[in-house]
């Protein structure tokens, strides 16, 4: 699957929530996500800009692999996902047997909804609040960006790991 996305930093979700409500969209209940990024010794996946992530989900553990593609104005990645019928901890043990170790962990509270074909995620992390807009086409992302009143030039193409590192560097 092709994943195209833009993130927008917001001070709070109030205006976004009001707008979503005005167009009949409910961002749903908050879900606490635990994310674990894995790599092999020496970081070959990181060197190839490839993400291998485990995330808790309803029904088990969501395994995600993302590989970069030539970018447009958006962050563009090829993404494949599968759900393992086991806990996050058990999945971590399985991949550790293959030599994978934890290189990054992060938690976020996420609420999701859809505008057209775009997934809208209201994500809260310790270093900020973000509206992430994701779809399989640039056109669908941009339609949602426009509907929400964001300026595409303000869109963030960085991962949460990169944003967190920047936040940590700023705090120091």
Structural domain for 145, as ranges: 2-171
Q: Tell me, what CATH number does 32's domain have?
A: 2.40.320.10
Q: Report how many domains make up the chain.
A: 1
Q: Check if the beta carbon of residue 158 is closer than 8 Å to that of residue 104.
A: no
Identify the pLDDT of residue 103. 95
The overall pTM is greater than 0.75: yes
Q: Check if the beta carbon of residue 163 is closer than 8 Å to that of residue 156.
A: yes
pLDDT for 36-79, tens place per residue? 999 999 999 999 999 999 999 999 999 999 998 876 677 788 99
Paired with 68 in beta bridges are 77
% of the chain exceeding 70 in pLDDT: 97
């Amino acid at each position: 699957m092709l994943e195209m996305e833009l993130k927008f930093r917001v001070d709070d979700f109030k205006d976004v929530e009001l707008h979503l409500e005005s167009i009949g969209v409910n961002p749903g209940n908050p879900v606490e996500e635990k994310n674990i990024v894995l790599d092999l010794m020496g970081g070959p996946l990181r060197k190839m800009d490839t993400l291998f992530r485990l995330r808790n989900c309803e029904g088990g553990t969501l395994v995600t692999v993302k590989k970069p593609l030539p970018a447009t104005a958006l962050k563009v990645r090829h993404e494949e996902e599968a759900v393992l019928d086991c806990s996050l901890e058990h999945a971590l043990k399985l991949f550790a047997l293959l030599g994978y170790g934890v290189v990054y962990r992060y938690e976020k509270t996420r609420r999701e909804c859809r505008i057209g074909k775009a997934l809208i995620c209201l994500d809260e992390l310790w270093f900020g609040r973000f509206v992430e807009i994701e779809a399989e086409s640039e056109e669908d992302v941009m339609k949602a960006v426009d509907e929400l009143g964001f300026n595409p030039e303000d869109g963030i193409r960085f991962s949460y790991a990169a944003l967190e590192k920047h936040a940590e560097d700023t705090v120091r």
